[in-house]
């Protein structure tokens, strides 16, 4: 059984992520979408929220599982009996960092391969941070994230903004 892991922050999942997940699910027996816990950036969405959103948008894919990890990706993969890392590439700017990571992971664990999937051109401009930025500024999230989670994402972004600004509504 060929098992691949698609790691990332998914803060929150976007249509660009979902496109990679769907395409990878067509190639591998099983794809584990795994949310990174040890990120230096403070995420907006909690781990439970990220898992919930990912589960909701992938429920049509039988061979996709949502999980999370901390520590070294290669150790996590050994536990999961997976030997392929899936990464999405949007632009040349993604390349240098991903190239270094792929070589380092291969040095740590030579049996593990990194496979890069090119973004679909219609999602090449999409990232979780730009989705949060657009949402904060009151822009429309249609076509940026799956329809069924737009309201949840907007609600969260509004609550975060309220807290940061001292929540003028309850003052």
Stretch that binds ligand ADP, among 47-55, 103-111, 124-132, 145-153 (CB under 6 A): 124-132
> How far lies 51's CA from each of 25, 98, 161, in Å?
18, 24, 22
> How far lies 23's CA from each of 48, 101, 154, in Å?
25, 22, 27
In angstroms, give the least distance from the CB of 121 to ligand ADP: 10
Residues in the chain: 171
DSSP state of 64: E
122 an active-site residue? no
Question: Closest CB to ligand ADP among 3 and 102?
Answer: 102
Among positions 94, 109, 152, 160, the unique one binding ligand ADP when judged by CB under 6 A: 94
128 an active-site residue? yes
Query: Rule CB under 6 A: is residue 17 a binding residue for ligand ADP?
Result: yes
**Any idea what the Cα angle at residue 148 is, between residues 68 and 94, rounded to 5°?**
50
Query: Rule CB under 6 A: is residue 45 a binding residue for ligand ADP?
Result: no
Residue 104 C-alpha from the chain's centroid = 21
CA–CA gap between residue 108 and residue 60 (Å, rounded): 34
Q: Identify the helix (H) or strand (E) that includes residue 47.
A: helix 47-57
In angstroms, give the least distance from the CB of 124 to ligand ADP: 6
81 an active-site residue? no
Query: Rule CB under 6 A: is residue 22 a binding residue for ligand ADP?
Result: no
Question: Closest CB to ligand ADP among 129 and 165?
Answer: 129
Q: Which backbone phi and psi does 64 adopt, to 5 degrees? A: -115, 135
Question: Closest CB to ligand ADP among 104 and 167?
Answer: 104
- Indicate which residue of 9, 30, 128, 156 is catalytic: 128
90 an active-site residue? yes
Q: Where do contacts with ligand ADP occur on this chain (CB under 6 A)? A: 8-10, 14, 16-17, 20, 87-88, 90, 94, 119, 123, 126-129
């Amino acid at each position: 059984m060929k098992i691949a892991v698609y790691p990332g922050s998914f803060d929150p999942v976007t249509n660009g992520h979902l496109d990679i997940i769907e395409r990878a699910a067509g190639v591998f027996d099983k794809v584990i979408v795994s949310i990174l816990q040890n990120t230096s950036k403070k995420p907006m969405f909690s781990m439970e929220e990220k898992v919930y959103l990912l589960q909701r948008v992938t429920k049509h894919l039988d061979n996709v599982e949502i999980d999370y990890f901390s520590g070294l990706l290669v150790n996590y993969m050994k536990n999961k009996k997976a030997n392929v890392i899936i990464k999405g590439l949007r632009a040349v700017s993604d390349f240098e960092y991903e190239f270094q990571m792929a070589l380092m992971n291969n040095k740590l664990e030579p049996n593990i391969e990194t496979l890069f999937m090119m973004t679909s051109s219609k999602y090449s401009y999409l990232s979780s941070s730009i989705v949060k930025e657009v949402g904060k500024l009151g822009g429309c999230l249609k076509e940026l994230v799956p329809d069924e989670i737009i309201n949840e994402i907007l609600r969260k972004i509004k609550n975060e903004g309220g807290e940061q600004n001292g929540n003028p509504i309850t003052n």
